[in-house]
Structure 1
Amino acid sequence: MKRVIAMLLTGAMVMSLAACGSTDTTSAETADTKETASQSTAAAQNTDSTGAADGEVVEITVQSWQYALGNYKGFSEDSELTQAIADEFNATHPGIHATVTIMRQEDHYNALKVDFAAGSAPDVIGIAPGADLEQYKSQLAPMADYASAEWGENWQDQFTDASFTTITLSGDEIYAFPSAMSASGTIWYNNKLMTENGVAAFPATWEELTQAAQTLRGAKQIPLMFGGKDNWQNYDMFIAILATVNKDLCNDVFSLDAEWTESDVVKAFSYYQKLFTDGIVQDGALSTTIYNEGYSQWKDDDGNSTIPMIFNGSWDLGSLKAENSFYENFSSNDIKVATLPSIEGKEGAVLTAPDVAWGINAASPNQEAAWEFVKWMCYDMQQSVVDGLGFFSVLKEAPSPTVDLTADYKAAYDTISAAAASDQTVGFRSSFYTKINDELFDQLQLLGTGAATPEEAAAAMAEAAAGISK
């Protein structure tokens, strides 16, 4: 696994908005498609590999959320991004015409519920691996046969193990293909602000983190900015803590192969609660969303940073690109990245997982053409993934970035990649089971307010897990 992750991380990791879609709903399509005859055996029978008759253009629809498409080739605005994706796919796939639609993540999933019921769901669907994929997999087409036909029976050897961790948890089929990865569970810090307010070096241990928080509070500074109102921030924090305490147990409880009442789980709940009782996170953390309440203080539009630390992930690497108008001002703060401080001598863990995958509507009459889009996003476009500085590659033989990186970008990237290449990593950012996710969020909120003890939280999680059939 260490070798696999190290190879994975030869691609660049950068900014995208974690678990937060754009406020706009836009669609784009291009009319400039060319008629062509396939050169395959199917062409001899007047059909191409998509099943279209000779000269016919197959129309497919693609729907996802902004985050899923990343910062493709430097485009970040929804309309520009969508148009660029559609234009390039259509230009390189004569015989297929894709209409791409992106929207807020919650709107995307709400639309899917209605469209699947009405029989009008898109041909290609952006889907988050894990619980969301589990919810929709009965309406998605199995994809392993497409991959075998494309790359041979050993096709999975071309992809990193971590990129399929949350896709293969159910163990019965491949219902989606990942196109991009990220790493989370890290702390980013304004080293200039830290040192100016009495913290000479980033804390190496949890005890030092507690002391640093008190020092910063004494200097009238916010300590660690944490979006405690966001489910994904809570999951990232707890999983990082539990994986630091006991990585193997972390894997086992989330896959329901161990009991949530294990002593190390209780210990992890205790450390999560210490974030609040020991004043490590800011006051009012449970009512704070990281976007944009937290980020507006971490970095405003002019690159001004007014908080010393923020719980963050690899998606923020994009803020260290030289072409950003705010970069010079922001980088003057000496921005750095670290893993969680060690807990009882154990090094902080990071979370590496696919952020987005692509599925094919099982009821689509154009599944072959839909597969061409999935393959394009998840395999053909991996150089653009790493060069677009939106995610990092799902391929073992990941392409290296062909764009220039700033010194502080590279330093942050090296820190994250070294941590992800270590033994202290897990391949998921939430549970495979919606019931576990819902109960975990509730219990973490109760811990944060002091309304539950770590033992009570563990017992509640065990009860939730007991009602799930694997």
Structure 2
Amino acid sequence: MEEKSMKLKKVASVLLALTMVVGLAACGSSSDGGSKGGDTKSSESKDSGTEKTKLTMWSWSPITRTCDKMIEAFEKENPDIEIEFTYYNYDPEYLSALSAAAASDNLPDIIGLQPGSLTAQYADYLMDYSSYAQDEWGESWKDNYPEMIADQIQMGNKSGDEGNYILPVEAQVISIVYNKNVFKKYNLDIPKTYDEFKAVCKTLNDNGVAPLFFGGANGWQCVNMFTMLCSQLDTTMFDKAQAGEIKWTDPSIVEAMSNFKLLFDDGIVQTGAMSADANTNGTPAFVSDSAAMMALGSWWCQEFTAEDPATTIADWDFGFFYLPAVGTAKNPATPVGGIDFGYGITKNCKNPDAAWKALKSFSAGAGIQACVDDVNNLPAFKGIEPKNDKLNKDLVEQYNSFSEDLNSAMNQRIGEPTIETALQNALAGVGSGELTPEQGCQAVQDAQDAL
């Protein structure tokens, strides 16, 4: 959840994050009143006389209530191993923690990762787990994941590097999630065309309701929207631009960037979208019927299992659709997604066998089953489904539909950190009107040329 994710966060201060990283392990924050950045949890030893193997783990994902269940499920099957887990908000706390800890050679045993740029940034600090995976699942072990997920495992690797550093845990599919209450109140139907989409948004704007609430202050929201727009034109052009097969100034990329600008010009997103935060501003508006739609995805399902959820969530008054063709596009968005997060074992780890047991559980065993039962996000590993009979029927149908769509989803991830930053900045400039679409694309190409 990218980037990774729509959660009702308690945002810790940057100062707290940087202070905690000096001597502690660190992880991310929760949507349900969980830990603030830098809060550490350690399971208590119930055995006497036998010293447990202790592992330290940092991550921003999954959210704290789910991570607690995931770790509990693992430790129940492995009573000789204890995980000390520290949780951070993703940006800037977790990213600052990783940077400072890597610089001081103080990384924990296991760290949360996203494919592409984040994994590439820390690959030199990570252990290649290939031999463990081959021993566990055979030479064709990547067949256990959808093709796009398998491809993302080595995304961002240096030329000639065949190592595997991130083991996928959860995956995601991006879509437009809509509030059924708002649509019913204003007699709105799911839009199939751009003209219908504009008409729906005009009705909402006229009635003081945010149409498609967009967190433009969040780089991940901008990139997610851009990849959806790219998918409407050509499902291969985004990866071709990353690979240098076409330039970021290619007419197809400029067209997608121009369609991104139309979302602001045509009133599809709310006024002031580029200064809004999807988590702190968008989610409260969405669950209180003050916003009709958000560009979210499969991770939104996790809100259902929160403690004391809002009525809209408890009744699961949400549905989803894929972005209708915008502007010059002829087709709606295809499913877009990839690995939400995974884990890697650092070279600092003194017990890699124990750490691998944890990763295996979190990806394909009791750990990921606990996450799936909490509908935190989709399992990256094939064949795992919710077994929680307390889940809403409509929710489960949506969740399983997302899982099915994952098999044909277009890649959303960026392999090179410099390009990810450049694209986020370009989209921010275009969305705010400071750059033309052509200028935004040229800025990304300039960053590519400088590599």
Q: Does 1:223 align with 2:211?
A: yes
Residue-by-residue CA offset, 1:12-61 (whole Å, 9 max, x unaligned) = xx97569973434322223426599xxxxxxxxxxxxxxxxxx7643322
Change (3 A) 1:390 1:270: same
Q: What secondary structure, in the 3-state scheme, does the structure 2 residue paired with 1:348 have? A: coil
Contact kept? 2:378, 2:399, Cα under 8 Å: no
**Identity fraction in percent:** 24
Cα distance in 2, alignment partners of residues 190 and 140 from structure 1 = 42
Shift of 1:85: 4.7
Cα RMSD (Å): 2.8
* Structure 1 counterpart of 2:318: 335
Segment of structure 1 superposing worse, 121-130 or 56-65: 56-65
Q: 1:359 aligns with which of 331, 339, 344?
A: 344
> For this pair of structures, how many residues does the alignment match?
417
Cα distance in 2, alignment partners of residues 30 and 368 from structure 1 = 20
Shift of 1:435: 1.3
Q: Residue type of the partner of 1:350?
A: P
Change (3 A) 1:144 1:414: closer
Q: 2:147 aligns with which of 161, 171, 179?
A: 161
* Structure 1 counterpart of 2:99: 113
* Structure 2 counterpart of 1:9: none
* Structure 2 counterpart of 1:466: 449
Contact kept? 2:231, 2:334, Cα under 8 Å: yes
* Structure 2 counterpart of 1:93: 78
Q: What secondary structure, in the 3-state scheme, does the structure 2 residue paired with 1:432 have? A: coil
* Structure 2 counterpart of 1:431: 414
- Give unpaired runs (5+ residues) of structure 2: 12-27, 31-35
Q: Does 1:21 align with 2:29?
A: yes
* Structure 1 counterpart of 2:226: 238
Cα distance in 2, alignment partners of residues 188 and 348 from structure 1 = 14
Residue-by-residue CA offset, 1:117-167 (whole Å, 9 max, x unaligned) = 333321111122221110000010111011112222222222332333332
Shift of 1:433: 1.2
- Give unpaired runs (5+ residues) of structure 1: 1-13, 37-54
Q: Does 1:180 align with 2:170?
A: yes
Residue-by-residue CA offset, 1:235-273 (whole Å, 9 max, x unaligned) = 100011011211111221133332112211111011100
Contact kept? 2:111, 2:345, Cα under 8 Å: yes
Contact kept? 2:172, 2:406, Cα under 8 Å: no
Q: Does 1:145 align with 2:131?
A: yes
Q: Does 1:59 align with 2:49?
A: no
Change (3 A) 1:149 1:459: same
* Structure 2 counterpart of 1:40: none
Q: What secondary structure, in the 3-state scheme, does the structure 2 residue paired with 1:441 have? A: helix
Residue-by-residue CA offset, 1:166-203 (whole Å, 9 max, x unaligned) = 3212252101211111211x112223323433x53121
* Structure 1 counterpart of 2:359: 374
TM-score, structure 2 as length reference: 0.84
Rg (Cα) greater in structure: 1
Shift of 1:212: 2.0
Contact kept? 1:225, 1:311, Cα under 8 Å: yes
Cα distance in 2, alignment partners of residues 410 and 99 from structure 1 = 32
Q: Does 1:345 align with 2:334?
A: no
